[in-house]
Amino acid sequence: VSMGRTLVELFYDVISPYSWLGFEVLCRYQHIWNIDLRLRPAFLGGIMQQTGNKPPAMLPKRAEYMLKDIKRMAKYYQVPVHMSGGDFQRILATSSLAAMRFVTAIEMTNPQYLEPLSREFWMRFWSQHEDISQPENILAVARQAGLSAELSQKALEMTSSPTVKDRLKETTAEAIKYGAFGMPAVVAHYDGEPHLFFGSDRLELLGSVIGE
C-alpha cells in the first residue's frame, strides 16, 4: 500500500448481484479516491453456512423489494444487472464454488486478469442469464475476459488443487473474521483498524469514514 492510501478490501462472489454493483462502484472510485482496492474472491455459500445466514429472498416481501431495489441500483450505477423473479431460484440452484475457485486460481497466478474476469462472470450470469458452474462455461468466460486458452486450461486444472481450495477457504474465513455475514463485504483499513461495510449501498458512508 502506497503512503497515505487507504487499503480497501472487497470480498465478493460472482453469484451475488449486489457484489457486482459494489465491485463496479469501487473499481470506478479507485481512480478518484486515495485508496488501494484489493479484490478478494470468497465463497458466499461458505459465509452463509458458517454464519447461519439465510438467502434474503426467502422472505417473500423482501424478495419483492429486492427486485425493485436491484433494478433501481442497476440503473443508477449503470451496471447491466437484469433481474427477474426467477433469478432467486437460479441463484439457489447454482453453485459458484467452481467459478470462485477459478477466479482464485487467476488471482494467485495472473492477478492482472482478476478485474476483467470477475466482471465477465457477472456479465454472463446476471446480464446474459447463462450458466457459470460448468467447466465449459468457465472457459468461455475466461476467453471473453481475454485469457489465453493455455492460461485458462492451467487455471481450470488448478481449481482441484489443495492450494487453490485452501486459498478460497482462507479468504472466506478472513471475511467472516472481519464480521461478514453476506456479500459484498467491504473492509476499509483506516486509523489502524478494519471497518466493515456490508452491501453496495454503504459506499458514501465508506467515503465519509476514510475522509473522502
Give the model confidence (pLDDT) of 181-212 as tens digits. 999 999 999 999 999 999 998 999 999 999 99
User: Regarding predicted confidence, which is higher, 175 or 83?
Assistant: 175
Is a pLDDT exceeding 60 seen at residue 61? yes
Told to judge if 16 belongs to the known catalytic residues of this protein, a careful annotator would answer yes
Residue 1 pLDDT exceeds 70: no
pTM: 0.95
Pairwise CA distance, residues 148 & 111, whole Å: 14
Q: How far apart are CA 130 and CA 157, in angstroms?
A: 22
Tabulate helix, strand, coil % of the chain (nearest 5).
60, 10, 30
Residue 178 CA, chain-centre distance (Å), reads 16
Q: Are strands 185-190 and 35-41 parallel, antiparallel or unpaired?
A: unpaired
* Domains of the chain and CATH, by start: 6-210 (3.40.30.10)
Out of 2, 16, 84, 152, the active site residue is: 16
**Helix or strand or coil: residue 65?**
helix
* pLDDT value for 69: 93
**Mean pLDDT of the residues in the chain:** 94
Residue whose C-alpha cell reads 485508496 in the numeric block = 35
Cell numbers that stand for 88 in this block: 432467486
Look at residue 23 in the predicted model and tell me its pLDDT: 98
